[in-house]
């Protein structure tokens, strides 16, 4: 297939922002919605940095059942308040078919997490909505499997699909996941769908997040989704990889140059 030009890809609207096309979209926010102060402080800093959308987990798919599982409905109320105050569109993960209806009417983009990329019942349910979807590549999913998972959404009539490379399992253990930038290039060859990168879960530690984010921008991604927290030391989930919100202005500044080089 011919390499897609930026002009021929599809675009997905997220509030005032467009993912795909010529821009570079930044979705930032905490791994999880934790409490009113955390959400308000983080959301304000995300808005002030010039980022385009806010993320925050309400239902968390944790490796251990004893880890923080997210606030559920209470978290959704905090997210709604942050969205209303800042005007930023809100992205959150849906982990259960029983939550699709509630989240679809309350948030701007539904995230399907890496662990659920091949949960076909969930894909069908989200494919039946008309809410934009962020589909994360599974931790051991091939490019083909990821594209077929996206087909489940498209086949249901939901065409507002954004793919996300978030790192895969390899032999390497010195960081959390291997960010597969080659897959970003292949996604761009093989599909018209916008492709963004999650540098945070691959990095595992905050010092590596900006370099991976810049690689994504220079490597032709349509945006990033990055974990950021007003007080990373107090985070209930993924604090080690959270960029302090005070680092967001620098990230936004450096991304502009990297994306312009793509
Ligand atoms: C997340 O975005 O917080 C998350 C759990 O991501 P992933 O599904 O990629 O692990
Ligand atoms: Mn996380």
User: What ipTM score was computed for the predicted complex, to two decimals?
Assistant: 0.99
Buried b (16+ CB within 10 A) or exposed e, 214-233: bbbbbbbbbbbbbbbbbbbe
Q: How confident is the model at residue 8 (pLDDT cuts 50, 70, 90)?
A: confident
Q: Which residue has the higher pLDDT, 4 or 184?
A: 184
pLDDT at 71: 97
State if residue 4 touches ligand 1 by the CB under 6 angstroms criterion: no
Q: What's the pLDDT tens digit per position in 170-227? A: 999 999 999 999 999 999 999 999 999 999 999 999 999 999 999 999 999 999 999 9
- Give the HSE-up count for residue 140: Cα atoms under 13 Å, Cβ half-sphere: 3
Distance 60 CA to ligand 2 centre (A): 8
pLDDT at 6: 59
State if residue 20 touches ligand 1 by the CB under 6 angstroms criterion: no
Distance 146 CA to ligand 1 centre (A): 15
Beta bridge partners of 109: 91
pLDDT at 4: 53
Query: DSSP per residue over 26-86, as a string?
Result: EEEE-SB---HHHHHHHHHHHHHHT-SEEE-BSS---SSTTS----THHHHHHHHHHHHHH
Structural domain boundaries of the chain? 12-261
State if residue 113 touches ligand 1 by the CB under 6 angstroms criterion: yes
Distance 69 CA to ligand 2 centre (A): 12
Left (φ > 0), alpha (ψ -120 to 50) or beta: where does 67 sit?
beta
Measured distance CA(156)–CA(125) in Å, rounded: 8
pLDDT at 2: 41
Distance 4 CA to ligand 2 centre (A): 31
Class for domain 12-261, per CATH? alpha beta
- Does residue 1 carry a pLDDT above 70? no
The mean pLDDT value of the chain amounts to 96
pLDDT at 59: 97
Nearest ligand 1 atom, CA 115: 8
Q: Which amino acid residue places its CA nearest to atom 9 of ligand 1?
A: 114
- Does residue 87 carry a pLDDT above 70? yes
What proportion of the chain, given as a percentage, has pLDDT over 70?
97
Q: How confident is the model at residue 120 (pLDDT cuts 50, 70, 90)?
A: very high
Residues at Cβ < 5 Å from ligand 2 ion: 31, 238
Six-digit token pair at 129? 């909505």
State if residue 31 touches ligand 1 by the CB under 6 angstroms criterion: yes
- Does residue 64 carry a pLDDT above 50? yes
Helix or strand or coil: residue 234?
A: helix
Nearest ligand 1 atom, CA 111: 2
Q: Which amino acid residue places its CA nearest to atom 10 of ligand 1?
A: 114
Nearest ligand 1 atom, CA 57: 3
Is residue 122 within 8 A of residue 99, CB to CB? The reply is no
**DSSP character at residue 219:** T
């Amino acid at each position: 297939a011919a390499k897609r030009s930026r002009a021929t890809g599809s675009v997905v609207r997220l509030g005032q922002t467009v993912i795909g096309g010529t821009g570079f979209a930044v979705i930032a926010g905490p791994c999880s919605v934790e409490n009113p102060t955390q959400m308000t402080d983080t959301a304000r800093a995300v808005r002030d940095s010039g980022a385009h959308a806010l993320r925050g987990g309400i239902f968390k798919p944790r490796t251990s059942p004893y880890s923080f599982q997210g606030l559920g409905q209470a978290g959704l109320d905090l997210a709604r308040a942050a969205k209303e105050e800042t005007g930023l569109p809100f992205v959150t993960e849906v982990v259960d078919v029983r939550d699709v209806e509630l989240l679809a009417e309350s948030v701007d983009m539904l995230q399907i997490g890496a662990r659920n990329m091949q949960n076909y019942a969930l894909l069908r349910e989200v494919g039946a909505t008309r809410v934009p979807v962020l589909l994360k590549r599974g931790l051991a999913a091939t490019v083909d499997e990821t594209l077929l998972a996206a087909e489940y959404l498209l086949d249901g009539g939901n065409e507002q699909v954004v793919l996300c490379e978030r790192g895969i399992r390899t032999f390497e253990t010195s960081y959390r996941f291997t960010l597969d930038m080659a897959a970003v290039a292949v996604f761009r060859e093989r599909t018209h769908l916008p492709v963004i990168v999650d540098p945070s879960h691959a990095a595992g530690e905050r010092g590596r997040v900006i370099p991976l984010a810049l690689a994504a921008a220079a490597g032709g991604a349509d945006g990033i989704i990055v974990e950021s927290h007003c007080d990373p030391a107090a985070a209930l989930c993924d604090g080690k990889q959270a960029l302090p919100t005070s680092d967001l202005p620098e990230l936004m500044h450096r991304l502009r140059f990297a994306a312009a080089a793509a």
